[in-house]
Structure 1
Amino acid sequence: MTSYTLSRFPETLAVVQLGPGAEIPTWAESSSIFSVTATATETSIVCAARSVPAKARHDKPYTAFVVVPEAGSADFDLSSGVTGVLVALLAPLADAGVSVFALSTFGTDWILVPKNDADKAEEAWRRSGHAIAPAVPA
């Protein structure tokens, strides 16, 4: 099985649910990861937890981990046909009883876990041969 390196972000995140076609609220500020996914039935936002109003339907706190592509690797280029990245990373978490909120970008995968389970997730990944490092600010 392939092993991966993940970076852990210190920022606390939230997942917010808005109605279909909702505009992005002004409080949904940029953070280490900012994601909007819109479907016909809802709009979901991943953003910094610090600004989410109590009245907004949300779930928090989350800790984000990003899969770090090796330098010069095309592993996360969508056209490369790489398979099994998420299963290699999510299976150890399922075995450890850690729930996840997964996101993918063009360049990599992001895994959000409940903040109280972040250390447990790291331990499960290390036991499975993956490496964890603190995120380096960009």
Structure 2
Amino acid sequence: MNPSFSVLPQRFVIARLEPNTDLPSAVLASPDFFSITRTGDELSIVCAEGVATGSTRVDGPWRAIKVQGPFAFDQTGILASFLDPLAAAGVGIFAISTFDTDFILVKSENLDKAVDALKEAGHQLLGE
């Protein structure tokens, strides 16, 4: 099985804040895709460019590839079927999983290379 994928139109950044930092209200109010993860070591935020103002460590721009789900929790190898071709093509990633699916962020300058590698691996880009 080779799930299809799409590319979100926005450009994103990944911000790292101290673990005890309050959640930025601008991120919470954003209508676009965002992800927040807090651990004992850090607060990581993925959000649209321009939303993570005031963050000291920000990396970007990134683009998001959405794996077309939903997938049952007992389905295995789906994310690997995307990550293996990207690794072989030398494309670094930042992965985010949700209840239904996965999102793979790649640096904006690597988007075309990533899409080509995924299509060569048998995945279909929606809209083509």
Q: TM-score, with normalisation over the residues of structure 1?
A: 0.84
Q: Which amino acid aligns with 1:65?
A: I
Aligned residue pair count: 126
Residue 5 of structure 1, CA deviation: 0.5
1:76 and 2:71 equivalent?
yes
2:93 to 89, 96, 100: 100
Distance 1:124 1:131 in 2: 11
- What corresponds to 2:24 in structure 1? 25
- What corresponds to 1:50 in structure 2? 50
Q: Which runs of 5+ in 1 are unaligned?
A: 70-74
- What corresponds to 1:6 in structure 2? 5
Identity of aligned residues (%): 38
**Structure 1 segments of 4+ aligned residues over 4 angstroms from their partners:** none
1:125 to 102, 105, 118: 118
Q: TM-score, with normalisation over the residues of structure 2?
A: 0.90
Distance 1:130 1:37 in 2: 29
CA root-mean-square deviation: 1.6
* Residues 17 and 45 in structure 1, CA contact (< 8 A), matched pair in contact too: yes
Change (3 A) 1:129 1:96: same
Q: Which runs of 5+ in 2 are unaligned?
A: none
Q: Which amino acid aligns with 2:25?
A: T
- What corresponds to 1:86 in structure 2? 79
Residue 51 of structure 1, CA deviation: 2.5
Distance 1:54 1:96 in 2: 34
1:40 alignment partner, SS class: coil
Distance 2:67 2:119 in 1: 14
